[in-house]
Amino acid sequence: MSKIEINNVYKIFGNNPKSVLPLVKDGSSKEEILENTGHTVGLDNVSMKIEEGEIFVCMGLSGSGKSTLIRHLNRLIDPTEGEIIVEGTDVLTLSKDKLIDFRRHKMSMVFQRFGLFPHKTVIQNVGYGLEMQGITENERNKTAMEKIESVGLSGFENQYPNQLSGGMQQRVGLARALATDTDIMLMDEAFSALDPLIRSDMQKQLLDLQSQLKKTIVFITHDLDESLRLGDHIGILNAGKLVQVGRPVDIIMNPADDYVAAFVKDVNRAKVIKAKVIMTPKDKVNGMDKTNLVKVQEDQFIEEFLPQVVCTNANCEVVDKQGNVKGYITNKELKESLTKGK
Ligand SMILES: Nc1ncnc2c1ncn2[C@@H]1O[C@H](COP(=O)(O)OP(=O)(O)OP(=O)(O)O)[C@@H](O)[C@H]1O
Ligand SMILES: [Mg+2]
């Protein structure tokens, strides 16, 4: 069973969404629907599965439906049609009380526009989720201070949000989501307001946290590099439709359409493709010249061994951590992997 399952979800915004649904199902485009009915298609027949312990990144242009999608998961938005299953429970069937409980204990969210309480201080904002869980003030201040420190805001705990910069407010939102320690985290453009250095640092912190805690994280971003760095899987939305889901390398090597291709065309593949992804397994290799081999680790990125292999005109022998040979990459294959499909 997947941690989160979204089945055939449609979301149409407007006065009478149900009446417009048949047109959407018949294949009218988002522009046609808007022009002819005044309704906006938010999501158009989206289905996806998100596995426990993974970072699932959702990417797409502005207005493609990313925030709409993530807000269905904790029912800040109800679908016009379709199913949202979290840990086997159809969230649409939850009673009001159950839903409150579910939001407090199952999921935390970092909002695109921070969503901080203006009349609460930083420490009160960060501790808010814990307060809702009924945790005592002493205890929640202790946890809140830890999280405030981890996002680099020590000293600001008694300030109000309007005394902070946008990036600092975003970090307060992040600390608040981390504080409740829920096993699902929804992060809507959680790092977008941060400067490049802090952003990169936060990405690293998230990956470190993830390697210990194995949360299920749904992460929204515009930024391809961020999605490649963080995502176990990436889903790409275009005008409310999910056009591709795959591992980063699948998206880069085999973009499903021109829209996805446009996203990935400038990516530096050497930074994101690992040796094991392009090697030919040992037992499938025959007739390759093995006189001039460079040994590479299966988890090394191409950029780490590319210069040496190209300069010495060698082929690669790919080994695992114990040194066992797993496969080979010829010099030609290595060079082709950088441009194939471009
Ligand atoms: N409350 C609403 N009422 C009407 N239309 C809405 C509403 N919320 C979203 N939409 C429409 O749904 C579509 C998807 O919006 P959404 O906010 O999900 O996009 P997004 O991918 O998150 O964009 P961005 O990257 O700019 O945050 C847009 O066309 C938007 O106009
Ligand atoms: Mg958004």
Domain covering 4-106+182-267, topology? Rossmann fold (3.40.50)
Q: pTM here?
A: 0.88
User: If you take atom 19 of ligand 1, which residue's CA is the nearest one?
Assistant: 63
List CB contacts of 5: < 8 A, sequence separation 6 or more: 48, 49, 50, 83, 84, 85, 86
pLDDT for 341 equals 60
pLDDT for 113 equals 85
List CB contacts of 141: < 8 A, sequence separation 6 or more: 123, 127
Of 9, 10, 12, 13, which is best to mutate to test ligand 1, by the most ligand atoms within 8 angstroms of its C-beta? 13
pLDDT at 163 over 70: yes
pLDDT for 249 equals 86
d(CA 311, CA 308): 5
Residues 235-248, mean pLDDT to the nearest whole number: 96
Q: How confident is the model at residue 327 (pLDDT cuts 50, 70, 90)?
A: very high
pLDDT at 114 over 90: no
Burial label for 286, CB within 10 Å (0-12, 13-18, 19+), is: exposed
Residues 329-334, mean pLDDT to the nearest whole number: 94
d(CA 33, CA 43): 13
Q: Nearest-CA neighbor of 256 among 240, 277, 271, 241?
A: 241
> Which CATH class for the 271-337 domain?
alpha beta
Burial label for 331, CB within 10 Å (0-12, 13-18, 19+), is: middle
End-to-end CA gap in the chain: 36
Q: How confident is the model at residue 342 (pLDDT cuts 50, 70, 90)?
A: low
Give the DSSP letter string of 23-66: HHHTT--HHHHHHHHS-EEEEEEEEEEE-TT-EEEEEESTTSSH
**48 phi and psi angles, rounded to 5 deg:** -160, 160
Q: How confident is the model at residue 340 (pLDDT cuts 50, 70, 90)?
A: confident
Of 16, 40, 112, which is best to mutate to test ligand 1, by the most ligand atoms within 8 angstroms of its C-beta? 40
Q: How confident is the model at residue 287 (pLDDT cuts 50, 70, 90)?
A: confident
pLDDT for 176 equals 94
d(CA 39, CA 286): 59
Residues 80-84, mean pLDDT to the nearest whole number: 98
Percent of the chain clearing pLDDT 70 (strictly above): 99
Q: What is the 57 CA–ligand 2 centroid distance (Å)? A: 13
Q: How confident is the model at residue 39 (pLDDT cuts 50, 70, 90)?
A: very high
| Domain boundaries of the chain, sorted by first residue | 4-106+182-267, 121-181, 271-337
Q: What is the pLDDT of residues 197-218, one digit of tens each?
A: 889 988 988 888 888 889 999 9
